Structure 1
Amino acid sequence: MGLMIDTNKGMLTGLVGSVVFVKGKNGEAIVRSRPMRNTAKPTPKKQQSCDRFAVVGAFIKPMYPFLKGSFTDWLEKRTARDAVRSYTLKNAVKLEQGKPVIDYPKFLISTGKQRVYNPILQQREKTELLLEWQPDSTQAFAHSDDLLSVVGYAPQTSEYVFFEACATRAAAQLQLELPEALAAAPVHFWVTFSTPTGDSYAYSTYLGLL
């Protein structure tokens, strides 16, 4: 129904039949069609697209506080958020039994021009993770004080682990202690280097499911 409010213009507000009267920013009356719920079933293609967005959104949300600083190459997008979402949707989602899932080896935790992590060894024993890498400090875009960051994701429990700026490039090896809750859970790991100031990162390296 409509409601006549007490104004100089005697303006109607509320629902009248199939239209809605609302007050605009300048005090003028605006008439809109009554919102109608769309009950049409989405096409398989549209549903798959929606599912892709949902899977990507749920996966990157807990990582975003890290990703918004580590995507220093925005991949021709306007923001780091756009770069993360666009890259992941286009390159790091695959279908398994008709359902979209994250393609972990192709997922990136960082982008930028620093020299990438060059692995030698990654070994895990329950909660202990041992990493060894090539220092590469004599190569372009590589410096001995570059800082290593490690991100892990356990698909069985949907838990994430973050080890930020935990070693220098020159250290060439590192032992990390994972949470006890992940002692028996396989974990996907990604690593990357950044400058000490964090203004530039490398394209991340996927270490596998350990």
Structure 2
Amino acid sequence: MATFEKGILGGFSGKVGSVVGTRWRGKNVMRSLPQHGKYTPTDRQELQRAKFKTVISFLSPITTILSAYFGSSQGDKSRANLATSYHLKNAVVSTAQGMIMDYEKVLISKGDLRGLDGASATAATGRIVNLNWLDNSGQGKATTTDVLMAVVYAPDLGLFYSNTAIATRDATTASVTLPQFMEGFEVELWASFYKDGTNYAATSTYLGPLTVV
């Protein structure tokens, strides 16, 4: 693959002869057409493909949240791109059964806002999850009106539930009623704060697995 600033006619897109022109990360790029024939990927390439497939499959249902609250866009890299890169590097592991997500390292948001302190989550009858945290308003840019959000994932079902407006930081306690399909299943839970009407958020907190009752 080669990059160029000015070709004979400037940048171009599409196939010309034996090369293809396109834009990639803000640059004009030329690459040769793929060679047809038998190709056997290396073990390392197969491993990377499996990791990528696992991460993309896991993150896709919460792309809207990641696109709003995961860091800051960097050039051609969107927040969703940054989230994918982070999880590929830090939150997917290889096991004898295949690739799996390391839930303790999963992040639903990433930023400089003060996150949850002293947080806990407990299950109660009726598919209710009770959340508790400390009011750390005034620390850094944390304010009483910062909004609490949570994402819940049921691994056995491969399904998510999210709520992006649960309570404000100063409430220190809140309850979330999960959907009926999660009843009886173990779920993973993450929570975070963000400033309403902005993309400014905290780095999320993992609140551990719990069984929905």
* TM-score normalised to structure 1 length: 0.79
* Larger Rg computed on CA atoms: 1
Using the TM superposition, give the Cα deviation of residue 178 of structure 1 relative to its aligned residue in structure 2, in angstroms.
Answer: 0.4
Report the RMSD for the aligned CA atoms in angstroms. 2.4
Distance in structure 1 (CA, Å) of the matches to 2:117 and 2:18: 62
Determine if the alignment matches structure 1 residue 199 to structure 2 residue 199. Answer: yes
Question: Structure 1 residues 38, 57: closer, same or farther in 2, change over 3 A?
Answer: farther
TM-score scaled by structure 2? Answer: 0.78
Q: Distance in 2 between matches of 1:105 and 1:85?
A: 16
Map 1:1-210 onto structure 2 (within 5 A): 30=17, 37-74=36-73, 78-97=77-96, 99-125=98-124, 127-210=127-210
Distance (whole Å) between structure 1 residues aligned to residue 70 and residue 33 of structure 2 = 43
Identity value in percent: 29
Q: CA deviation at 1:81?
A: 2.1
- Structure 1 range deviating more: 195-204 or 74-83: 74-83
In the alignment, which residue of structure 1 is the partner of 2:5? Answer: none
Which residue number corresponds to residue 25 of structure 2?
A: none
Task: Please tell me whether the aligned partners of residues 120 and 207 of structure 2 are also in contact (alpha carbons under 8 angstroms).
Answer: no
Unpaired stretches in structure 2, ≥5 consecutive residues: 1-11, 20-31
Cα 1:144–1:99 change in 2 (3 A) is: same
| Cα distance in 1, alignment partners of residues 74 and 123 from structure 2 | 33
User: Per the alignment, in what secondary structure is the counterpart of residue 58 of structure 1?
Assistant: helix
Q: Which amino acid aligns with 2:186?
A: P
Structure 1: stretches of 5+ with no match in the other structure = 1-24
Any idea what SS the aligned residue of 1:116 has? coil
Aligned partners of 2:34 and 2:120: how far apart in 1?
A: 59
- What one-letter code is carried by the residue in structure 1 that aligns with 2:195? T
